[in-house]
Amino acid sequence: MINEIHHLNTMNKVQFQLIPNVFFIIALAILVALGTWQVKRFNWKTSLIETINSAIDQPPQPLPPMDTWKQLDLDQLNYRAVKATGRFNYKDEVHLFTHVPAGKATYSGVGYWVIVPFLLEDGGTVLVNRGFVPEKFKQQRTRLKSQVEGRQTITGFIKTDQGANYFTPETDYKNNIWYTRNIKAISDHLELENAAPFLIARSGDVNKDSLPQPREINVNLENRHLGYALTWYGLALTLIGVFVVFSFKSRKE
């Protein structure tokens, strides 16, 4: 009988110690993973800022020829300043939902990036982000004066796909509203032939008081990810300290 009681006490003690151990391991793994993820985000943001700053100082270059598009390293191409000659196909305009902070441009608030196919003079089609329009100017008929017809040369910088997440809404095809910059999906939806795997964000050569409002390159990107990483790692160290104290007291008892 005494042996059975001792065995039960031993089992209860083991279970008492096992439960906090499991919670400690799970919590520590989560905190370290969050810290490591923020370090990766820090490195990504640092690289992005360097790429943008480098692109701003470069004069616009001609677009890569169409026969090289499939071999392009899009990561190296992102934010490159370019120029292209062709004509817009305004009837296939699509709208990408966005929000422009107040005080940074003439027009701000909730609205849309206006994306239009540009038929290149040398062959192929590239999507062009002509700029921002407030929500009340979403309809094309409210800004027809800005639609220059015929051959023209535009400048801007290359943008690649924008990733979606679990909270990104589905595309509203009925109202022509997109919530992520998926270049291939937009090109397929518009049934574009020989579509470029990148987009040109137009800038610099358009009246900034007109609509669509050309996009500015944002060189004031904040990079707080290292601070976030240190916070998560600090919490992990705190958790280790608490667990050590807890374990010491448990063994002493």
The pLDDT assigned to 147 comes to 87
Cα–Cα distance, 223 to 46 (Å, whole number): 7
The pLDDT assigned to 174 comes to 94
Is residue 35 scored above 50 in pLDDT? yes
Pairing between strand 152-159 and 81-88? antiparallel
Mean pLDDT across 103-131: 91
Q: Kindly write down the DSSP assignment for every residue of 145-169, as one continuous string.
A: GG---S-EEEEEEEE------TTPP
Cα–Cα distance, 147 to 16 (Å, whole number): 73
Q: Kindly write down the DSSP assignment for every residue of 5-67, as one continuous string.
A: HHHHHHHHHHHHHHHHHHHHHHHHHHHHHHHHHHHHHHHHHHHHHHHHHHHHTSPPEEPPPGG
Nearest CA to 74 among 155, 159, 154, 156? 159
Q: Which tens digit of pLDDT belongs to each residue from 171-192?
A: 999 999 999 999 999 999 999 9
pTM above 0.75, yes or no: no
Q: Do residues 213 and 107 lie in contact, with contact meaning Cβ atoms separated by under 8 Å?
A: yes
Cα–Cα distance, 159 to 80 (Å, whole number): 8
Q: Which tens digit of pLDDT belongs to each residue from 230-251?
A: 999 999 999 898 888 877 776 6
Give the model's confidence band at 199: pLDDT under 50 very low, under 70 low, under 90 confident, else very high: very high
Q: Which tens digit of pLDDT belongs to each residue from 121-148?
A: 989 999 999 999 999 999 988 887 888 8
Helix or strand holding residue 115 (H, E): strand 109-120
Is residue 38 scored above 70 in pLDDT? yes
The pLDDT assigned to 206 comes to 57
The pLDDT assigned to 214 comes to 83
Of the ranges 4-18, 108-122, 212-226, which one carries the lowest mean pLDDT score?
4-18
Residue 1 tokens read as 């009988």
Cα 164 to its chain centre, rounded Å, is: 8
Looking up tokens 């990104």 gives 168
Give, in order, the Cα–Cα distances in Å from 6 to each of 12, 15, 172. 10, 14, 67
Give, in order, the Cα–Cα distances in Å from 120 to each of 84, 112, 151. 7, 24, 9
What ranges do the domains of the chain cover? 2-47+224-252, 80-202
Query: Residue 193 is which amino acid?
Result: E
- Cβ atoms within 10 Å, residue 103: 6
Q: Do residues 190 and 119 lie in contact, with contact meaning Cβ atoms separated by under 8 Å?
A: no
